[in-house]
Structure 1
Amino acid sequence: MGAKRGPADPERRERIMAATERILLENGITGLSHRAVAREADVPLGSTTYYFATLDDLLDAAIRRLSERYARALHEWGAALGEVSPGELVEALADLVVSQLRDNRAELVLSFELSTAAMRRPELRDSALLYAETEREVLSAHTDEQTARALSRVLDGLLLQSLAAAAPPDRADITGPLAALLTP
């Protein structure tokens, strides 16, 4: 099938975005190019630059979209918790870490890759911080702002170390740091 053209392809921008997400999740930031996206989306190369003039524009749009999807899921998770005790929050967060590592590994890797890239590329900082801002916002509904900030940082550390480890963490490796903050 050849690339669709013109008005016969009203979904072109969406296909470009979906292709960008797939490339980022499979190959990371270094795998992203206008050419790769055009090939993956089955659109002419000029279409990618028509909608997204630079790679940073394309990256930013894709990261924001992925972040919005993560934010919706995390807000749903937080709302489903309802009122919880600190001990129940420890267990719920441990379940969240386990499910993230099991079900969303590619998204986590991309999130940390983006954070690392933002250290040298200031134009990526706003996008890179969306994940942490969402975590703090959701956690603030279940604890005070300072504890929510600390929990977000502990969660990031747990997830990052778990992604790099040869074996997944056991439950005590996850609940220990969380309990130290929530149930000292």
Structure 2
Amino acid sequence: MGAKRGPADPGRRERIMAATERILLEDGIAGLSHRAVAREADVPLGSTTYYFATLNDLLDAAIRRFSERYARRLHAWGAGLGEISPAGLVEALADLVETLLREDRAALVLSFELTAAAMRRPELRDSALLYAETEREVLSAHVDERTAWALSRVLDGLLLQSLAAAVPPTRTDITGPLAALLAPDG
């Protein structure tokens, strides 16, 4: 089946975005090109540049979509916590880390790759930092701002090191650093 054209194809932009996400999840930033996206989305090459003039525009839009999806998930997770003790929050965060590592490994790898790319590509920084901003925002409903900031950094470190490790972290590997921040005396 050939690519649809013109007004008869109102879903073209969405197909381009979905194709971009699939490429990023499978091949990372190195695999992203207008040509690869056009082929994956089954659209003419000119369509990708019509909607996204540069590769950075396409990448930025994809980062924002991933970030928005993560934000919705994290907000729902945070809202489900209700009133929670520091020790309870340690366990809830450990559950979250284990779930993310098990169910969203490709998205986590991509999020860290995008953050690393933003170090050299300032135009991507705002989008790449949306993950950490969401974490701090959600955690701030349960702890003070300073602790939320520290927890966000610890979560990033736990996730990054876990992704790079040869074996998954133990529950204690995860709860230890979190408890040091949230329940240091307990």
Fold in common (TM above 0.5): yes
Matched residue pairs, number? 184
> Which amino acid letter does the alignment assign opposite residue 143 of structure 2?
T
Quote the Cα distance in structure 1 between the aligned partners of 2:133 and 2:107.
Answer: 16
> Which amino acid letter does the alignment assign opposite residue 159 of structure 2?
L
Residue of structure 2 equivalent to 1:51: 51
Residue of structure 2 equivalent to 1:138: 138
Q: State the Cα RMSD in Å.
A: 0.4
Shift, 1:7, TM fit: 1.3
Matched, 1:77 2:77: yes
Residue of structure 1 equivalent to 2:28: 28
Quote the Cα distance in structure 2 between the aligned partners of 1:118 and 1:6.
Answer: 34
Residue of structure 1 equivalent to 2:173: 173
Quote the Cα distance in structure 1 between the aligned partners of 2:73 and 2:2.
Answer: 36
Residue of structure 1 equivalent to 2:66: 66
TM-score between both structures, scaled by the size of structure 2: 0.98
The alignment-based identity, stated in percent, is 86
Matched, 1:8 2:8: yes
Give the secondary structure class of the aligned counterpart of 1:10: coil
> Which amino acid letter does the alignment assign opposite residue 102 of structure 1?
R
- Residue ranges of structure 2 left out of the alignment (5+ in a row): none
Which shifted more, 129-138 or 118-127?
118-127
Quote the Cα distance in structure 2 between the aligned partners of 1:159 and 1:46.
Answer: 38
Quote the Cα distance in structure 2 between the aligned partners of 1:137 and 1:143.
Answer: 10
Shift, 1:2, TM fit: 0.6
- Give per-residue Cα distances to partners, 1:20-47, cap 9 Å, x unaligned: 0110111111110000000000000000
TM-score between both structures, scaled by the size of structure 1: 0.99
